[in-house]
Amino acid sequence: MTDSPLLQLESVRIRHEGATAFTPDEVGFAVHSGEVVLVLGPSGSGKSTLALALNGLVPHAVPAELEGTVRVDGIATTDTTVARLSESVSMVFQDPDAQIVTGTVLDEVCFGPENLGLPVAEVLARAEAALTQVGLWQRRDENPDRLSGGGRQRLALACALALRTPLIVLDEPTANLDPRGIDEVYTTLADLVARGGHALVLIEHNLDAAMTLVDRVVVLDRSGRLRFDGPARTVLRDHVGELLALGVWLPAATLAGLRMRDAGHPVAELPLTPVELTALVDSLPAPTAPVPAPEGTVRSGASTTPPQFAPGHELAVRVRDLTVHRGRTEVLHGVDLDVPRGAFVALVGTNGAGKTTLLQSIAGVIAPPRGRVDLLGLDPARADVGTLARAVGFVFQNPEHQFVRGTVADELAQSLERQRLSPDEVADRVDRMLERFGLEAARDVHPFLLSGGQKRRLSVGTALIAGAPVLALDEPTFGQDRERAAELLDILSGLHSEGTTVLVVTHDLQLVADHATHVAVLDGGRIAAFGETAAVLASDALVASGLQPPPLARAFRAAAHPAWHGVTRLGDIPTALRASGAGS
C-alpha cells in the first residue's frame, strides 16, 4: 500500500515492572486503514500487553518499560498522552463489567465524546449512530447491567465507535461471553467490517468465530517474538505445523482437516471455517454406515422417566423433583437427573438456565430442599461441611475465592487438618497432591502469588484432597485462554479415567464434545436433554435450547449425506473416513 500506515510498530519490546523477560520482543508490523489484523500467540507471548501499547496505556498508565516505537498516525505514543491517542485508537477489553462507568446505555456511549469536549449535539449524534449500529438504540435508557454479557460487550463496541477512531483494538472481546454473546459480538463485528472504514486489531483465541473476518494474521511465539505476518489463509495453511508446535490454537475446522490428512486422505486446501469443512466433507464418498454408530439415548425433557443405565451402573448423583428458589424467583423447576458413577457430565445452557444452581445444589454449596438430592447416599441438605467435603469437591469459577490459608501446602492441608488426621498422614497426602499437580516448587508460596494456571490446579487439588470421589466445577474455563482451558480439561480427563465422577458447568461446547461422556442441556430451569455426549450433540436439543452446536458438529451436521451427521469430535474422524473408504 502506498498510504502511510495508521499504526506502525518498530522493534517493540515491553517488559512489565518486576518481570525479567521482554514479551513482546522485537515486534514490528504495520496496520493500514480498513485492515482486520488478528494477533495470535500462545499464552505468555504478550498479546494483551501488546494491545495495551497500541493506545499508549503502555507505558503511560501501566508500569512497564517500552523499547522501540509505536506510531499512531505517525506520532510516537511516548510523545503524547493516552487521552490524545484515544482520538485515533479506541479499545474494547475482555471484561464487559470493567468498561462501564455510567448509569445508562446512552450516558455510557456519550462518555467518550463528552471527554473530548464535543458540543452536546455532536455527542448525541455520535451516540445515536453508534448505538444504532450495534442494535442498542432502543435500549438507550436502560442501566447497562440489565444487558446480557453480549449486549454489554456490544455497548463497549458502541463506545469505541462513538469516538470515531480509524483504529479499534479488541483484546479478547468474547472470552467472558456465553456462545450466544459470542455470536452477537461477531455478528456486530462482521457488520462493522462490511461497512468498511475501520481498521481492527483483534486479539482472540476463538478462531472459529474470528476467521471469517480476518485479512491478516500476526503470530508471536512463546518468547514474544514475531514469527509470521501475512494473509490469514496463507499463514494458517502454509505454516500449520509450525503454528501447532508454537502452541497456537487453530480453528476446529483446520484441526479436522489435519486429522483427515493424517488419516491418509489428501486434503489440498486446509479448511479454516465450518463452511469450508462441510464443503470438504461433501467432496468425500459418503460413509456406508452412520459414524459413529449411534449409542445411548437422549432423553428429552418432556418424558418423565429417567434414562435407564445398564444395571451395573451405580449412581453417583440422583436428583429427583428438585425445585430451587433464589430470592423470590424459582430457578429450577422439578429437575430429575441421574449421574452414573465415573461419568464426566457437562451441564450446558444459556445464561440463566439454572446450570450453576443445579451444580451448587448437588454439591451442597447452597442447601437444596431435603430429600431431593442423593449424593453417594448422602443428602447435601443435611450433611455437615466435613462429611460433604469427603464426598464432593467444589471448584469455584475464580480460584482465589476459595483460598483460605497463607501457603500452598497449608491450603492443601486445610481440610485434612479439619478431619483430625495425624500430622504424618496430612504431610504425606499434601506431598502427593503437590506432586500430582506440579506444585512442589511452590509449596511455601502464598496462593495469591501463583500464576493463573497454578491457582486453578491448586483449587482442584484442594477440592480433591479430602478424597472426594465426585468433583464439581463451575465454569472453570471462563475468561481463560484456550491453552489454560485445555490444560485444565486434561487434568479433569486424567481424574475421570482414574474413576472420579466429574460434573462441570461450562459454555465451551467444543471442550464438552472432546471430553465429556454425558451432557445435560438446561433450558429455563429444566433439563431439556440428557444423554451421552455424541447423542446429545447430534440431536436438536442444543439448538432448541438456544445454543449453537460446537463448530465440528455444526460442520458435519451440515454435510449433504446424513451418515456424517454424528461426527462431533476430532477422534471420530479417522473412523468416519475408514467407513467412507476415503482413508487408508
Partner 1 sequence: MSLAARAARVDPYADRVDHGALRFLHRLNPLAKIAAPLPAMIALVFTRDLAVPLAFIALAYLLLLVGAKLSGRAALGLFVVLPALSAVLAFSIGLWTAPSRTEGTPVLFAIGSFDYTLGALTAGAATALRLGGILVLSLLAGLTSTGPDLVRAMVQQLRVPYRLGYTALAAYRFVPRFGHELDVIRQAHRVRGVSTGRGPVAAVRRWLGYVVPLLAGALRHAERVALAMDSRAFGAHPTRTERHLVPFRARDWVFMLAFWAATAAILVAGAVLPR
Binding positions for partner 1, 140-169, rule CB under 8 A: 141, 143, 145-149, 159, 163
Q: What is the chain's length?
A: 584
Q: Are 505 and 492 in contact (CB under 8 A)?
A: no
- DSSP 3-state of 243: helix
Q: Is 231 in the site for partner 1 (CB under 8 A)?
A: no
Closer Cβ to partner 1, 18 or 119, answer by number: 119
User: 533-562: which residues touch partner 1 (CB under 8 A)?
Assistant: none
Closer Cβ to partner 1, 339 or 353, answer by number: 353
DSSP-assigned beta bridge partners for residue 76: 71
Closer Cβ to partner 1, 136 or 217, answer by number: 136
Closer Cβ to partner 1, 271 or 399, answer by number: 399
Q: Is 398 in the site for partner 1 (CB under 8 A)?
A: yes
* Contacting range for partner 1; rule: CB under 8 A; set: 6-14, 71-79, 398-406, 576-584: 398-406
Rounded to a whole number of angstroms, the CA Rg of the chain reads 25
Amino acid at 444: D
Q: Residue 441 burial (CB < 10 Å; 0-12/13-18/19+)?
A: exposed
Which cell goes with 125? 449524534
How near is the Cβ of 457 to partner 1 at its closest, in Å?
Answer: 16
d(CA 318, CA 116) in angstroms, rounded, equals 59
Closer Cβ to partner 1, 458 or 567, answer by number: 458
Closer Cβ to partner 1, 81 or 497, answer by number: 81
Q: Is 401 in the site for partner 1 (CB under 8 A)?
A: yes
Closer Cβ to partner 1, 257 or 399, answer by number: 399
Q: Which letter does DSSP use for residue 308 in this model?
A: P
φ/ψ (deg, to 5) at 64: -155, 160
Q: Is 19 in the site for partner 1 (CB under 8 A)?
A: no
Q: Is 118 in the site for partner 1 (CB under 8 A)?
A: yes
CA distances (Å), origin 562, targets 125, 292, 413, 557 = 51, 12, 54, 8
How near is the Cβ of 83 to partner 1 at its closest, in Å?
Answer: 3
Q: Are 563 and 575 in contact (CB under 8 A)?
A: no
Q: Are 571 and 515 in contact (CB under 8 A)?
A: no
Q: Is 477 in the site for partner 1 (CB under 8 A)?
A: no
Q: Is 467 in the site for partner 1 (CB under 8 A)?
A: no
Give the containing element (helix H, strand E) for 411: helix 408-418
d(CA 170, CA 190) in angstroms, rounded, equals 14
How near is the Cβ of 262 to partner 1 at its closest, in Å?
Answer: 41
State the binding string over 292-331 for partner 1 (x if CB under 8 A, else -).
----------------------------------x-----
Per CB under 8 A, the list member of 30, 129, 263, 366 interacting with partner 1 is 366
Closer Cβ to partner 1, 102 or 297, answer by number: 102
Q: Which letter does DSSP use for residue 144 in this model?
A: G
Which cell goes with 20? 525479567
CA distances (Å), origin 547, targets 521, 541, 542 = 9, 9, 5
- List the 329-340 sheet strands across, edge first: 329-340, 315-326, 373-375
Q: Is 210 in the site for partner 1 (CB under 8 A)?
A: no
Binding-site size for partner 1 (CB under 8 A) equals 73
Q: Is 77 in the site for partner 1 (CB under 8 A)?
A: no
Closer Cβ to partner 1, 4 or 81, answer by number: 81
How near is the Cβ of 91 to partner 1 at its closest, in Å?
Answer: 4
Closer Cβ to partner 1, 94 or 533, answer by number: 94
Q: Is 105 in the site for partner 1 (CB under 8 A)?
A: no
- List the 392-395 sheet strands across, edge first: 298-300, 526-532, 518-523, 344-348, 501-505, 470-474, 392-395
Q: What is the DSSP string of 17-49?
A: TT-SS-SSBSB--EE-TT-EEEEE--TTS-HHH
Nearest to residue 514, comparing CAs of 544, 542, 488, 539? 488
User: 44-73: which residues touch partner 1 (CB under 8 A)?
Assistant: 52, 55, 57, 60-62
User: 562-581: which residues touch partner 1 (CB under 8 A)?
Assistant: none
Q: Is 506 in the site for partner 1 (CB under 8 A)?
A: no
User: 447-466: which residues touch partner 1 (CB under 8 A)?
Assistant: 448, 462
User: 78-97: which residues touch partner 1 (CB under 8 A)?
Assistant: 81-84, 86-87, 90-91, 93, 95, 97
φ/ψ (deg, to 5) at 16: -70, 150
Q: Is 351 in the site for partner 1 (CB under 8 A)?
A: yes
Which cell goes with 107? 450516558
Q: Is 7 in the site for partner 1 (CB under 8 A)?
A: no
* Contacting range for partner 1; rule: CB under 8 A; set: 206-214, 270-278, 383-391, 559-567: 383-391
Per CB under 8 A, the list member of 186, 249, 344, 394 interacting with partner 1 is 394
* Contacting range for partner 1; rule: CB under 8 A; set: 17-25, 131-139, 333-341, 400-408: 400-408
Q: Is 16 in the site for partner 1 (CB under 8 A)?
A: no
Nearest to residue 272, comparing CAs of 215, 203, 345, 335? 215
Q: Is 409 in the site for partner 1 (CB under 8 A)?
A: no
How near is the Cβ of 395 to partner 1 at its closest, in Å?
Answer: 10
Q: Which letter does DSSP use for residue 226 in this model?
A: E
How near is the Cβ of 156 to partner 1 at its closest, in Å?
Answer: 8
Closer Cβ to partner 1, 291 or 468, answer by number: 468
- DSSP 3-state of 428: helix
Nearest to residue 48, comparing CAs of 79, 71, 24, 76? 24
Q: Is 262 in the site for partner 1 (CB under 8 A)?
A: no
Q: Is 363 in the site for partner 1 (CB under 8 A)?
A: yes
How near is the Cβ of 184 to partner 1 at its closest, in Å?
Answer: 15
Preceding omega of 96 cis (within 30 degrees of 0): no
Amino acid at 439: L
- DSSP 3-state of 117: coil
First to last CA, the chain: 46
Per CB under 8 A, the list member of 104, 212, 323, 575 interacting with partner 1 is 104
Q: Is 420 in the site for partner 1 (CB under 8 A)?
A: no
